[in-house]
Amino acid sequence: MDKIQYVGPPDGFDDDLPGDPVCLMRRVCMKCGAVADEEPPTVCPQCGEEMPAD
């Protein structure tokens, strides 16, 4: 039997992300650096800054 164990993505990545850092970067608030819980367009959950889709 294989003993290879999947340890998952590095800390800081959401489980629902396929591992593409670009997706995560789009969620990072440019004002305070917080990471949104959802894809843009949305607003920063921490400071309320608008986070446009592009």
Q: Give the footprint of Zn ion on this chain (CB under 5 A).
A: 29, 31-32, 34, 44, 46-47, 49
Three-state DSSP string of 1-54: CCCCCCCCCCCCCCCCCCCCHHHHHHHECCCCCCECCCCCCEECCCCCCEECCC
Of the two residues 17 and 47, which places its CB atom closer to Zn ion in the complex? 47
Tell the smallest beta-carbon distance from residue 18 to Zn ion (Å): 24
Q: CB of residue 32 vs Zn ion: minimum separation in angstroms?
A: 3
| Least Cβ distance, residue 49 to Zn ion (angstroms) | 4
